[in-house]
């Protein structure tokens, strides 16, 4: 939400520079909440009335407080937020407590004024924390976060925000490169590296090896990299706090990503192995298909040759699925590509010489897991085979079409049709002895959980619907 989104008659008229500053703070509230482990709120005065308007609010993902986040634009009486109002009036940084609910443990609250370059107070930032997160060290962190929020450079241009979690180390460095704050997570990470107390140490020390800090201080821009130290992989990020073009403090974030990178490598290896398996399965299936073709050529029985040819096409349909899987990382397949290849393959292998065929192929992208894709591939194979074998008896030309579409939010639809002789009189799909139809019915209804119907209208029209999930 921007300042312009708050359509309230009590909202003050801000200058362009003031609006830019407030919107910059709004955009950084989520980051501020994560770093400070606090609920951070931005307030402005509601016109001349003794009221406040909250422009934005955010809090850390690690903050377990039951307080809810309020939408921007909520109005409060000054008496409801006395500390905020006092800071708005006086321009002072104040500390206090408040109860979020009657009888519950009070929250620690700290307020900071937001001032223009000329010193005019236009807003107040408040930080609300549990009592466990107070103390001198945390005061330094809150002060640094406040300085980051009101800093006069565009953080968003160079800073890729990643949510912070409890295991992320946070350090604050002063303008001399000295560590003035370190959370327990940072202390734990460096303890593993043999570094004891962090406070007071120079961030450029060899033992700390935080090389980004110097570059960030010089450039005044956030820096990020991964380093490997003593067997650990550390993700490091340095965010300078800039005032009047000078780096006055710096926030350093460090996270141990060793296990994450290890798992990523393992996944890459597994993916490569799986792809190789699919490749070998494809080759083996193609070898089997070649053997069956050889057997078909040696057979003198037309029935045997026809049966072997059908078997070859079925095997090659499954092989095509494995070929696609061997070429990609995920176990998901665009069935449109597989269907197109099977459609062309079956027509090419089964069409009699001299027969003039018109092919119509229409398809939207349909993404399915490999198992479901294999079933649908076999369905395409059987129906196209049936169309060629039985659809054009006594004819020398015809049309075979395939349409694969997204029927609805819940269903995909596969249609295979021809302009042939149609279904025989008295045809009953449930009672037919056709192996191809039986295979299709089993695959569609049992494996895919869909429906299958055959319609005779100017030819044969097979309609299959399957659920999208």
Closest CA to 88 of 56, 40, 48: 48
Residue 330 pLDDT class (50, 70, 90 cuts): low
Judge whether 418 lies within some domain: yes
How much is the mean pLDDT over the chain?
82
161 or 45: which carries more pLDDT confidence?
45
Tokens 């054009």 label which residue? 392
What is the arrangement of strands in the sheet containing 223-229, beginning at the earlier edge strand? 179-182, 169-174, 246-256, 232-243, 223-229
Judge whether 104 lies within some domain: yes
Instruction: State the Cα–Cα distance between residues 9 and 298, nearest whole angstrom.
Output: 91
- Which of 115, 150, 185 is a domain's end point? 150
What pLDDT digit, counting tens, does each position of 397-439 carry? 999 999 999 999 899 999 999 999 888 887 877 777 777 888 8
> Over 80: is that where the pLDDT of 320 sits?
no
**pLDDT score of 156:** 55
Distance from chain centroid for Cα 305:
51
Judge whether 158 lies within some domain: no
**What are the phi and psi torsion angles at 243 (to 5°)?**
-130, 125
340, 436: one domain = yes
What pLDDT digit, counting tens, does each position of 12-22 carry? 778 888 888 88
**pLDDT score of 329:** 58
293, 347: one domain = no
Mean pLDDT of 293-306: 85
The CATH number for 196's domain is: 3.30.450.20
Burial of 267 (0-12, 13-18, 19+ CB in 10 A): exposed
**pLDDT score of 419:** 92
Query: Which range of residues forms the domain containing residue 359?
Result: 331-469
Closest CA to 95 of 54, 128, 63, 121: 128
> Over 80: is that where the pLDDT of 456 sits?
yes
**pLDDT score of 378:** 84
Judge whether 114 lies within some domain: yes
> Over 60: is that where the pLDDT of 467 sits?
yes
Judge whether 215 lies within some domain: yes
377, 453: one domain = yes
299, 416: one domain = no
- The H or E element containing residue 319 is helix 302-326
What pLDDT digit, counting tens, does each position of 99-124 carry? 655 556 677 889 999 998 888 899 99
What pLDDT digit, counting tens, does each position of 158-190 carry? 566 677 777 888 999 998 888 899 888 888 888
- Which of 330, 347, 372 is a domain's end point? 330
224, 289: one domain = no
117, 209: one domain = no
Judge whether 404 lies within some domain: yes
- Which of 91, 117, 150 is a domain's end point? 150
The CATH number for 381's domain is: 3.30.565.10
436 or 446: which carries more pLDDT confidence?
446
143, 33: one domain = yes
116, 26: one domain = yes
Dump strand ranges (E) for 36-190. 39-45, 51-59, 74-77, 94-98, 107-115, 121-129, 169-174, 179-182
Residue 146 pLDDT class (50, 70, 90 cuts): very high
352, 460: one domain = yes
The CATH number for 126's domain is: 3.30.450.280
Q: What's the domain count of the chain?
A: 4
81, 144: one domain = yes
Mean pLDDT of 21-49: 87
- Whether 462 and 405 have beta carbons less than 8 Å apart is answered as no
Mean pLDDT of 210-223: 81
**pLDDT score of 196:** 81
Tokens 């570059």 label which residue? 215
Percentage of the chain modeled with pLDDT above 90: 18
Judge whether 155 lies within some domain: no
Helices (runs of H) and strands (runs of E) counted in the chain: 10, 18
> Over 90: is that where the pLDDT of 125 sits?
yes
Kindly report the pTM of this predicted structure: 0.58
Burial of 48 (0-12, 13-18, 19+ CB in 10 A): exposed
89, 171: one domain = no
Instruction: State the Cα–Cα distance between residues 459 and 65, nearest whole angstrom.
Output: 68
38, 140: one domain = yes
Instruction: Give me the sign of the Cα torsion angle 148, 149, 150, 152.
Output: positive
Judge whether 455 lies within some domain: yes
* 20-29, 204-213, 286-295, range with the lowest pLDDT: 204-213
**pLDDT score of 41:** 92
């Amino acid at each position: 939400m921007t300042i312009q989104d708050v359509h309230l008659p009590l909202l003050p008229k801000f200058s362009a520079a003031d609006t830019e500053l407030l919107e910059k703070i709004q955009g950084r509230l989520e980051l501020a909440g994560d770093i400070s482990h606090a609920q951070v709120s931005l307030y402005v005065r509601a016109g001349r009335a003794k009221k406040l308007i909250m422009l934005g609010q955010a809090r850390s993902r690690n903050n377990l407080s039951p307080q809810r986040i309020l939408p921007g634009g909520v109005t409060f009486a000054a008496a409801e937020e006395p500390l905020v109002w006092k800071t708005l009036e006086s321009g002072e940084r104040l500390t206090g407590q408040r109860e979020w609910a009657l009888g519950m443990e009070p929250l620690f609250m700290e307020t900071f004024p937001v001032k223009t370059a000329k010193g005019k107070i236009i807003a107040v930032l408040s930080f609300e924390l549990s009592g466990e997160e107070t103390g001198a060290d945390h005061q330094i962190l809150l002060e640094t976060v406040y300085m980051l929020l009101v800093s006069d450079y565009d953080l968003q241009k160079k800073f890729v925000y990643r949510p912070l979690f409890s295991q992320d180390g946070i350090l604050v460095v002063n303008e001399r490169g000295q560590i003035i704050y370190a959370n327990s997570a940072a202390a734990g990470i460096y303890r593993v590296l043999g570094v004891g107390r962090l406070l007071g140490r120079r961030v450029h020390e060899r033992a700390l090896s935080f090389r980004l800090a110097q570059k960030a201080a010089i450039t005044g821009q956030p820096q990020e990299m991964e380093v490997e130290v003593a067997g650990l992989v550390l993700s490091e990020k340095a965010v300078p706090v800039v005032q009047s073009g000078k780096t006055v403090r710096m926030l350093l974030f460090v996270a141990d990503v060793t296990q994450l990178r290890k798992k990523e490598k393992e996944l890459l290896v597994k993916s490569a192995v799986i792809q190789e398996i699919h490749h070998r399965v494809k080759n083996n299936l193609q070898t089997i298909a070649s053997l069956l073709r050889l057997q078909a050529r040696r057979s003198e029985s037309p029935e045997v040759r026809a049966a072997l040819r059908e078997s070859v096409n079925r095997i090659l349909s499954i092989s095509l699925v494995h070929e696609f899987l061997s070429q990609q990382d995920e176990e998901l397949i665009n069935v449109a590509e597989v269907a197109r290849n099977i459609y062309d393959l079956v027509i090419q292998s089964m069409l009699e010489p001299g027969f003039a065929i018109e092919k119509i192929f229409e398809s939207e992208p349909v993404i399915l897991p490999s198992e479901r894709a294999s079933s649908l591939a076999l369905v395409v194979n059987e129906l196209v085979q049936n169309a060629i074998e039985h659809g054009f008896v006594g004819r020398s030309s015809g049309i075979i079409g395939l349409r694969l579409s997204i029927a609805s939010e819940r269903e995909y639809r596969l249609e295979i049709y021809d302009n042939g002789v149609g279904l025989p009189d008295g045809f009953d799909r449930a009672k037919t002895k056709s192996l191809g139809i039986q295979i299709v019915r089993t695959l569609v209804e049992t494996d895919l959980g869909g429906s299958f119907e055959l319609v005779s209208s100017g030819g044969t029209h097979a309609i299959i619907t399957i659920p999208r999930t």
